[in-house]
Structure 1
Amino acid sequence: MPTTYVSRPHNASSAYIIRGTNPTREPTRRVYVSTTATGVPGIDFLAIERVVNGDRPLPHLNETEQELAARLMTRAELGADEIAERLRVEPRTVTRWRTAWKKDEDSN
């Protein structure tokens, strides 16, 4: 499977993507979250990575992990319905988060 690597994460909230192709399926896109920042209490970066990539069984995430995963999936251009399904929340919750992020960006 041909694989393209992009730069490694620089901090705990960054991620990088590896794109690969599988001749039997459509191209896959994986997001890898930096797990080197062990000093962030209450955040399981491996669980977030599994949810972002849709690796089943999907682990349950706390609220902070859910929002971080939603940001990463939004950057990866996933729709609100798919994000909501993976996070086990309502699609309107994802929409509210996105609206709040937009307001934060506009105020800065």
Structure 2
Amino acid sequence: MSTTYVSGPHNTASASVVGATDPSRQARVRHIHVSTTETGASGMDFLAVERAVNGDLPVPELNHAEQQLAARLMTSEGHALAAIADLLGTEQRTISRWRAAWKKEQGDRT
């Protein structure tokens, strides 16, 4: 395990992340930043979500709301259904249902 310094957009919430990462993932995935002015809200730990979606070790356990946010972020970055489910420790069909609900939600807004 190595320590990696990941630099990205710098604002009050998404400063550089320092954490242990899986060296094999460094070349294949772009770092995802969770933008917010808070580190948590309504039972959500945005820093834990950011660490989870980027595979920073140890991967934190996420609650249901955090898992959904992580799945949304990873979906928007083009991650495969199986990869998202594996990372979040959930079933692929759960991710599929969430995606269907998001599409329906988008349709209801228009």
Please state which band the TM-score falls in when normalised by the shorter chain.
Answer: 0.7 to 0.9
> Does 1:96 find its partner at 2:110?
no
Indicate the residue corresponding to 1:58 in structure 2. 59
Contact 1:35 1:46 in 2 (8 A): no
The offset of 1:56, in angstroms, is 2.0
Query: Runs in 1 of length 4+ with deviation above 2 angstroms?
Result: 25-28
Whole-angstrom CA distance in 2 between matches of 1:4 and 1:63: 28
Which digits, 9 at most, give the CA deviation of each residue in 1:17-62, with x for residues without a partner?
xxxxxxxx73541011135325613111111001111112211100
Indicate the residue corresponding to 1:18 in structure 2. none
Whole-angstrom CA distance in 1 between matches of 2:53 and 2:62: 11
Indicate the residue corresponding to 2:19 in structure 1. none
TM-score, with length taken from structure 2: 0.71
Whole-angstrom CA distance in 1 between matches of 2:40 and 2:48: 16
Q: AA paired with 2:63? A: N
Contact 1:48 1:69 in 2 (8 A): yes
Indicate the residue corresponding to 1:44 in structure 2. 45
Indicate the residue corresponding to 1:76 in structure 2. 77
- Taking a change above 3 Å as real, the CA distance of residues 78 and 39 of structure 1, as seen in their structure-2 partners, is closer
Which digits, 9 at most, give the CA deviation of each residue in 1:52-75, with x for residues without a partner?
111122111000000011100011
Structure 2 unmatched runs, 5+? 1-5, 15-25
Structure 1 unmatched runs, 5+? 16-24
Percent of matched pairs sharing the same residue: 49
Q: AA paired with 1:63? A: H
Equivalent residue of 1:51, what SS?
helix
Pairwise CA RMSD:
2.8
